[in-house]
Structure 1
Amino acid sequence: MMRHDNPKAIKLLILYASYGDGHLQAARAIQSALEKRGHVQTAVLDLMAKSHPLIHGMARRFYRSSYTKLPSLYGWMYGFTRPMKHDSMLGSFLHAFGRGTMNGIVRQEQPDAIIYTFPSYALPPASKQAARHIPSFAIITDFDLHQRWVHPRIDRYYVATEDLKTELVSLGISGSRVAATGIPLKQSFKPRAATAELYKRYGLSPALPAVLLMAGADGVTPAVLELGERLLARSGALQVALVCGRNESLRKAAALRFAGHPEASRIRVFGYVEPIHELMSLASCIVTKPGGITLSEAIAANLPIFTYRPAPGQELRNAVYLAERGAAVIASRPGQLVSAITRLLASPERLEQSRSALRLLQTAGAADAIADDILARFSLAQEHVQAVGGRGRLLTE
């Protein structure tokens, strides 16, 4: 877990869940931002995997199968549980998972605060006799609010938009406990200008607009290979960068399918691309699953967004939120998607309108802003402790 070589360091426990990749990405982004500031020790933990490995494995398999094979079931479950309260029977049951393990970790590690990037709040017991209050911070990783995130013992929330802040306030959370920082991205994600060197590195032509077609291991964008073919067939005035992520079988299938394609020179197939910001800088638009992290990356890169048949649940709600603000287009049929993309690329006015909508959603440096805010609260708390003679607590608002 945490190092113990610096007793003066602030010790922070960051919890995530491995249902999809976004929660871990957010946790790593915050960990990196905190540790580069010095005098901080962090540990990142999948609490469910540690406390209930068998149940965790079953839950992950259910998540993958329901999300990819039975999306309507996943969407129904998301909608059914979305308004649940923390003290409801279901809410209490879900937040109880891992509590024993959490109590043991807290006793052993003595963290100064706990940061959540997934709403599984196995919080240590609260009582008037408790030796100290352990501050808790929640980083909401979508543009939609599932009420599982809402809990009276969370001291501060970090959210993607002012709209989410308003929604939390409407549920009784004090506005002083919510910061609209944006969703944290990894420190290496820095939008950059397109250069001749980058075009050469990725085998793309600076003469043609590029469509960045994203797919992932979980919830692969449906019919991604068909979409690539349709884009190439519809217009000779574009190129496609197909990113398959860690889905090696998809990468191989794509490479085989397009190897003898008559328009093979206008498509490039990639596996996992760590510096995805580089490809985003070369693209004119992106087709992607509407997960919170990828959408935030596209927004930061000012890259017009298309989603194809977003799965019911948080991703559909993410897509709808952005579409209502003119920052994304939702398509339900391949032809509809291809037509929307070609219309956008053929119209400088449409491109500028989309980019203007994206600029309204941009927030600079969410991970750094969150890290600074958390550490500033420790400084304020320490000043308060000194002022009252050694007694006090963090986040008193």
Structure 2
Amino acid sequence: MKKILIFTAGFGEGHNTAARNVRDAVEHIAPDEAKVEVLDLFDSCYGKLNDWVRKAYIAAINRTPRVWGKIYNVIDGTQFVESNMAILAKMKRAMSDLLAELEPDAVVSTYPIYNYVIDAIYSDGRPKSFAQITVITDSITVNSIWYRCTSDYFLVANDDTANVLRNAGVPEPQIRIFGFPVTYRFAEIPDSRYLNGEKEPRRVLYLINSGKKEAPALVRRLCERTDIRLTVTVGRDRALRKEIENEVKAPAHCVEIIGWSNRMPELLTTHHLVITKAGGATVQEAIAARTPVIISQVVPGQEEGNARLIVENDCGCLAPGPDEIVEALTGAFSHGEKGLKTWVDNISKLSKPDASLQIARFILELASPENAPPKRLQHFSRGVSKRRDGRSILLCDLHTHSIFSDGKLTVRELVDFYGQRSFDALCLTDHICDHTSLIGAVTNLSGMVLTLDEVGEYFDTIEREKIRASDKYDMILMAGLEFNKDGLTKRSSAHLLAVDLKQPIDPELSIIQTIAEIHAQ
């Protein structure tokens, strides 16, 4: 069995998205041929410091983009990273241990720093026993930090980006154009948007990830149009959701408001236009879905290339303000939708919805199958304790949280985390509050608990992962909930843990009623 390590980091969602999608594609096409792990050594090595730096990075690109642009240029034009490798000494030790223990056949980086750490580990001239592959997540404006390091191959999203590497002196055989690794689901979803000959209002998807102060008023303006049907995503920002709901209370205002969702492929492939900032993953997913993009914000540096990719290929336009967005929609839909048709034709030429599958096949070809992997991670292996009656003791965690509430990992990542550590059973018990109480209503705005509109997706996600948990790790996965009954005093407060639920339970019920419902299941 081939062993593949994928290194990522949480500085921008594009890196994590690419890493997860490559892993999923490998597991999809070769479930019995390869063992794949996604690792974030910044998180595991630096913990709270990494959290602080990551939050500072996000604040910088959103609040002071010009300052971040100057930092980006310093990293691009100097040897800043190479000159400061000493600060990554802890990561170097951790990666050296991982490479020695796991003996991977292929190492994939979706974040550039890891290649410099590998260079430092092998600075003594020792040969590497693995293929080294870099998945570049930026387009056109590619920081030189991506290709100043050593890598056997650099995988890029398009020919424009490949030209940047060619002009920088990267040998042609090391450059491969596969497209951005969006989820392979894009290659499987049928596209029926333009099959119906009848003229209907076009569906517009507005991803509110910037310009939140202006968003509610813009949503109201868009809702007043009769030529579109609007869908708005607000993520976990409950306050923003409430503001938008207050703006569109009139019956004439028809809009669908969605919170956090993992069904972006389905959303993009059922809408005719998307309004969003020029984030790498979002733009590339829109291209894969053949959905033209109206770009509402561009972060200087890495996002400039994404914006250029859309504008220079006439797949959409730049509209940095509410008035410009309204004008862009009018232009797209006027004159028999000539503008929209041009954008769709052009973005279809760039679309590579099966990119992650192509990348997965490439990695599998490079990975040498010589060394069989251990059944479990060596540094987490354990003996099995036998009882007198011959049965073994099970290792279980029946109380864990995912990103659906206050956890840090997705459901899939939790399955991998516990499965790789030999757990026999896992129950996800994300927080849910009684929204009819004062404290519960306030807590529901925090983004740290499940809301009623997310519960269905939560149970569906766990249900889908149950089969993979069983097949890959022989682990039982269960759905659960942690009911928060928070009053103003200790006597009026309680938390109730429900393990192995088959369906949701109304959080408005009293503790006694909830217990009865749990027992009934």
Q: Does TM, scored on the shorter chain, surpass 0.5? A: yes
Following TM superposition, by how much is the alpha carbon of 1:365 offset from its aligned partner in structure 2, in angstroms?
A: 0.9
Following TM superposition, by how much is the alpha carbon of 1:221 offset from its aligned partner in structure 2, in angstroms?
A: 5.8
* 1:179 corresponds to 2:176: yes
* 1:151 corresponds to 2:148: yes
Higher-Rg structure is: 2
Counterpart for residue 188 of structure 1: 185
- Relative distance call for 1:175 and 1:85 in structure 2 (3 A) is farther
Provide the rounded CA distance (Å) in 2 between the counterparts of 1:116 and 1:283.
32
For residue 166 of structure 1, the aligned residue among 163, 167, 176 is 163
The question of whether the paired residues in 2 share the 8 Å contact of 1:86 and 1:151 is answered with no
Following TM superposition, by how much is the alpha carbon of 1:350 offset from its aligned partner in structure 2, in angstroms?
A: 1.1
Aligned partner letter, 1:89: S
Aligned partner letter, 2:191: A
Following TM superposition, by how much is the alpha carbon of 1:213 offset from its aligned partner in structure 2, in angstroms?
A: 0.2
Counterpart for residue 30 of structure 1: 22
The question of whether the paired residues in 2 share the 8 Å contact of 1:86 and 1:148 is answered with no
Cα-to-partner distance string for 1:255-288 (whole Å, 9 max, x where unaligned):
3432x23532x21111123222222233221101
Q: Report SS of the residue matched to 1:287.
A: strand
Q: How many residues align?
A: 360
The question of whether the paired residues in 1 share the 8 Å contact of 2:186 and 2:288 is answered with no
Counterpart for residue 208 of structure 1: 201
Provide the rounded CA distance (Å) in 2 between the counterparts of 1:211 and 1:53.
39
Counterpart for residue 58 of structure 2: 64
Provide the rounded CA distance (Å) in 1 between the counterparts of 2:26 and 2:276.
29
- Relative distance call for 1:177 and 1:16 in structure 2 (3 A) is same
Provide the rounded CA distance (Å) in 2 between the counterparts of 1:83 and 1:206.
51
| TM-score normalised over the length of structure 2 | 0.64
Provide the rounded CA distance (Å) in 2 between the counterparts of 1:237 and 1:352.
16
Q: Over aligned residues, Cα RMSD in angstroms?
A: 2.7
The question of whether the paired residues in 1 share the 8 Å contact of 2:72 and 2:301 is answered with yes
Provide the rounded CA distance (Å) in 2 between the counterparts of 1:220 and 1:333.
9
Counterpart for residue 483 of structure 2: none
* 1:371 corresponds to 2:360: yes
Aligned partner letter, 1:107: A
Counterpart for residue 333 of structure 1: 321
* 1:134 corresponds to 2:123: no
Counterpart for residue 4 of structure 1: none
Following TM superposition, by how much is the alpha carbon of 1:179 offset from its aligned partner in structure 2, in angstroms?
A: 0.6
Provide the rounded CA distance (Å) in 2 between the counterparts of 1:65 and 1:336.
25
% identical aligned pairs = 25
The question of whether the paired residues in 1 share the 8 Å contact of 2:157 and 2:177 is answered with yes
Following TM superposition, by how much is the alpha carbon of 1:84 offset from its aligned partner in structure 2, in angstroms?
A: 3.6
Q: Report SS of the residue matched to 1:13.
A: strand
Aligned partner letter, 1:33: A
* 1:89 corresponds to 2:89: no
The question of whether the paired residues in 2 share the 8 Å contact of 1:142 and 1:291 is answered with no
- Unaligned segments of structure 1, at least 5 residues: 1-8, 196-204, 383-397
For residue 294 of structure 1, the aligned residue among 278, 282, 285 is 282
Counterpart for residue 108 of structure 1: 101
Counterpart for residue 242 of structure 2: 252
Following TM superposition, by how much is the alpha carbon of 1:66 offset from its aligned partner in structure 2, in angstroms?
A: 1.1
Cα-to-partner distance string for 1:220-253 (whole Å, 9 max, x where unaligned):
66622222122234x3222210011233433333
| TM-score normalised over the length of structure 1 | 0.83
Provide the rounded CA distance (Å) in 1 between the counterparts of 2:191 and 2:360.
27
Following TM superposition, by how much is the alpha carbon of 1:128 offset from its aligned partner in structure 2, in angstroms?
A: 6.3
Cα-to-partner distance string for 1:160-205 (whole Å, 9 max, x where unaligned):
111211211222211111111111011333443348xxxxxxxxx9
Provide the rounded CA distance (Å) in 2 between the counterparts of 1:84 and 1:365.
36
Cα-to-partner distance string for 1:334-358 (whole Å, 9 max, x where unaligned):
1111111122022322112111221
- Relative distance call for 1:317 and 1:69 in structure 2 (3 A) is same
- Unaligned segments of structure 2, at least 5 residues: 371-521
